[in-house]
């Protein structure tokens, strides 16, 4: 576990080059890729009322057509953000609780939806690129109150985003962060533990 990387680093070019040379190969590969991130937060504000928010910082915003946020395992589609009024990437039986029209890079919606957490234990975030959905985050977390940021590079083949960092803001635990080879991670804000996978 380590503290999230926040803010802009300012250093001499020579020091940066030296530091990069000492990084493991995987970290060098990740540093060479333009990074993007999504920050998602949610909380149950009252019975049947839930607030969900999404903010995206995208290195190539033109490559992304929209985003979907699910609560699992109920598979409740809490929020959809899409440039089109009726996005083609929604399946016929998918009905979002709230749909926000606008490009991801230009909107940071925070909306109230009619939702009760009940037995849901995961938040899944998918981005749409080239008409295909890519899972960026699959977080086993306290759905009743959470905030996390997932940082990633360029989408590769397959349904999951490649190597990325996940950072969770977790009450008295502060910020917890780790690198995972994919979107799945678990965070426990009671024991202050975070790990890759479910």
Cα of 126 vs its chain's centroid, Å: 8
- Domain presence at residue 3: no
CB 160 within 8 A of CB 135: yes
Q: What kind and span of H or E run contains 19? A: helix 13-22
- Domain presence at residue 7: no
CB 81 within 8 A of CB 125: no
- Domain presence at residue 164: yes
What pLDDT sits at residue 75?
A: 95
> From edge to edge, which strands make up the β-sheet containing 132-140?
98-101, 76-82, 66-72, 122-129, 132-140, 184-188, 193-196
- Domain presence at residue 169: yes
What pLDDT sits at residue 104?
A: 85
- Domain presence at residue 75: yes
What pLDDT sits at residue 31?
A: 47
- Domain presence at residue 31: yes
In this structure, the number of other CB atoms found within 10 A of the CB of residue 22 comes to 8
- Domain presence at residue 19: yes
What pLDDT sits at residue 102?
A: 87
- Note down the domain range covering 78: 13-196
Report CA dihedral (181, 186, 24, 153) to the nearest 10 degrees.
50
- Domain presence at residue 93: yes
Instruction: Report the candidate in 16, 60, 161, 38 with the shortest Cα–Cα distance to residue 109.
Output: 38
**Three-state DSSP class for 137?**
strand
Number of domains in the chain: 1
In this structure, the number of other CB atoms found within 10 A of the CB of residue 166 comes to 28
Q: What is the pLDDT along the chain (198 residues), one digit of tens a residue?
A: 444 543 333 333 333 233 334 434 444 444 445 689 999 999 999 999 999 999 999 888 888 889 999 999 999 999 999 877 667 788 878 899 999 988 887 778 899 999 999 999 999 999 988 888 999 999 999 999 999 999 998 766 566 777 789 999 988 899 999 999 899 999 999 999 999 987
What pLDDT sits at residue 62?
A: 84
CA distance 196 to 150: 12
> pTM value?
0.81
């Amino acid at each position: 576990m380590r503290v999230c990387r926040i803010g802009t680093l300012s250093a001499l070019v020579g020091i940066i080059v030296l530091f990069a040379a000492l990084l493991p190969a995987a970290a060098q590969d990740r540093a060479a890729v333009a990074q993007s991130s999504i920050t998602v937060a949610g909380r149950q504000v009252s019975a049947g009322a839930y607030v969900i928010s999404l903010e995206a910082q995208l290195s190539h915003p033109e490559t992304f057509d929209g985003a979907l946020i699910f609560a699992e395992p109920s598979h409740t589609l809490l929020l959809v953000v899409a440039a089109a009024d009726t996005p083609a990437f929604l399946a016929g039986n998918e009905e979002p609780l709230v749909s926000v029209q606008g490009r991801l890079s230009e909107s940071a919606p925070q909306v109230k939806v009619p939702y009760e957490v009940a037995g849901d234990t995961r938040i899944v975030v998918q981005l749409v690129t080239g008409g295909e959905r890519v899972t960026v985050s699959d977080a086993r977390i306290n759905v009743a109150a959470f905030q996390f940021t997932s940082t990633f590079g360029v989408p590769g083949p397959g349904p999951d985003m490649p190597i990325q960092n996940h950072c969770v803001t977790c009450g008295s635990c502060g910020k917890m962060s780790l690198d995972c080879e994919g979107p799945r991670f678990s965070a426990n804000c009671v024991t202050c533990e975070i790990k890759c996978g479910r």
